[in-house]
Amino acid sequence: MTSSDRSEGNAIMLRDARETDLRAILNLLADDPLGKHREPAVPENAGIPSEYEAAFEAIATDHRNQLVVAEIGGRIVGCFQLIFIRGLTHRGGVWATIAGVRVAQAMRGRGIGKAMMQDAIARARARGCVLARLMTDKRRSEAHRFYRALGFVSSHEGMMLHL
């Protein structure tokens, strides 16, 4: 998918992530008020931690997962992961979970996030999903406003247990 980004004069290209994108994805995850406590930034001269390489390989080879990047002018400026799960509820339908959504802080407000969510929803529809659910931390109030503006509804209460 490609959409125009008028403020940059370049197109936003959304595509499946490649292994060569992993450093940029990890740096997007780390360049975040919450993510910086969970994910390490990976400078150009440093090796990528093996657990991230293994996770990328597992995601890339699992037909129930898609890791997507947003690129402008050859630079990775956003990412998200789609996880497809078949459930017994909703008549045995497939659900798409959208997780790990990030847009580079310096690139926010340029339509990248909207293009990414439109792409995620289009991918979910193409897979025959009956619903798309979004994982977002309760502390991300700006993100919540953004997602509500796109039609997402805060209809369920999610809970987590760190193991």
pLDDT by residue (tens digit) across 58-84? 999 999 999 999 999 999 999 999 999
Rounded distance between C-alpha atoms, residue 116 and residue 105, angstroms: 15
Q: Is residue 142 part of a domain?
A: yes
Cα–Cα distance between 24 and 75 in angstroms, integer? 9
Is 112 part of a structural domain of the chain?
yes
CATH number, domain at 137? Answer: 3.40.630.30
| Structural domain range at position 28 | 2-149
pLDDT tens per residue across span 129-163: 999 998 787 788 788 788 888 888 888 777 776 78
For residues 4 and 13, is the Cβ–Cβ distance under 8 A?
A: no
Q: Is residue 102 a part of any domain in this protein?
A: yes
What's the whole-model pTM score?
A: 0.85
8: pLDDT strictly greater than 70: no
Q: Is residue 13 part of a domain?
A: yes
- Count of structural domains within the chain: 1
Q: Give 152: exposed, middle or buried? Use CB within 10 Å, 0-12, 13-18, 19+.
A: middle
